[in-house]
Amino acid sequence: MVENPAPRVVVITGASRGIGRLLAQKLGAEGAHVVVNYKGNADLAAESLADVTAAGGGGVVAQADIETPDGIDALFAVVDEHYDHVDAFVANAAAAAFKPVSELKLHHLDRSYAMNARSFVLGAQAAAKRMPAAGGRIVYISSYGSLRAFATYAALGAAKAMAEQYMKFMAVEFGPRGITVNAVNGGLIDTDSLDYFYNKVPGMAPIASVLEKLPLQRPGTADDMADAAQFLLGEKAGYITGQVLVVDGGLTIIAPPFWSDTTGALHDAVFPPAH
């Protein structure tokens, strides 16, 4: 049964934690109804929806494993139960194995594609079909592994690169229907996944050795990412499509020699000694 055809309806995959959850809350504050997708943790999803409601929005939770086509169908079945349209789709959930390329097995390759690229295409197809004649918004949450190569991130980075390219094809194809399609590409963002990558992947370099090389000298926050996505989903981004908005504190513009590795007066020119 269609309960309320009026609100702005945004479907966010993986909205029970991290960046997706914060984005849901920010959109709730704009009065949006958010379909809070999650895979396993129903309590966190319920908390996330409660945040959205407390912020002034509404919505529903939708348990669905988006790695599978059946999961995408299940997600949009929940959407159809409650709403007669979708205004925006955010492909946010991600997962992959962190291993050297030489150790990637067939299932790592297949699952990484299914989870991080295929789910975006299937989800965007389903969402676009439900968007009103006035148009809509699609945003893919990517990461710097789509642009740069670094330890253990190949399976995820390559899938993100594929999704970013799909994003551009969709922008061209859906543009005549008033649908914009963009990506937010994050650097090191302080969430559960960053903690896992630096503290649980055996042998990973210490995060401090990476942060000191960043122009902004700190990890990004989930807020930094959610703000960028909120902008692309909003009215003020109406003429932006097919773009990747990089939110990385300068990570992807640097190259060796790094300022943090310089010494003496040269080092002091950028990092003045503490008084």
Could you list the residues that contact ligand NAP (CB under 6 A)? Answer: 13-20, 37-41, 65-67, 92-95, 115, 141, 143, 186, 188-189, 191-194
Partners of 12 in the beta sheet?
36, 90
Q: What is the 3-state secondary structure (H, E, C) of 143-189?
A: EHHHCCCCCCCHHHHHHHHHHHHHHHHHHHHHHHHCEEEEEEEECCE
Nearer to ligand NAP among residue 37 and residue 241 (C-beta): 37
Nearer to ligand NAP among residue 171 and residue 245 (C-beta): 245
| Shortest distance in whole angstroms from residue 9 CB to ligand NAP | 18
Nearer to ligand NAP among residue 13 and residue 180 (C-beta): 13
Nearer to ligand NAP among residue 243 and residue 262 (C-beta): 243
- Say how far apart CA 46 and CA 50 lie, in whole Å: 6
| Shortest distance in whole angstroms from residue 201 CB to ligand NAP | 13
Look at residue 5 and give its three-state secondary structure.
coil
Partners of 233 in the beta sheet?
none
Which residue's structure tokens are 């020699």? Answer: 257
Catalytic annotation on 153?
Answer: yes
| Shortest distance in whole angstroms from residue 88 CB to ligand NAP | 16
Catalytic annotation on 160?
Answer: yes
Nearer to ligand NAP among residue 189 and residue 232 (C-beta): 189
Sheet holding 244-247, edge to edge: 58-63, 33-38, 9-12, 88-91, 136-143, 179-186, 244-247
- Say how far apart CA 115 and CA 125 lie, in whole Å: 15
Q: What is the 3-state secondary structure (H, E, C) of 209-247?
A: HHHCCCCCCCCECHHHHHHHHHHHHCHHHCCCCCCEEEE
* Candidate list 160, 168, 196, 213, residue with the active-site label: 160
Q: Which two structure tokens, joined as six digits, stand for 207?
A: 């995060």
| Shortest distance in whole angstroms from residue 244 CB to ligand NAP | 12
* Candidate list 153, 166, 168, 239, residue with the active-site label: 153
| Shortest distance in whole angstroms from residue 21 CB to ligand NAP | 7
Look at residue 138 and give its three-state secondary structure.
strand
> Which residues are catalytically annotated?
153, 160
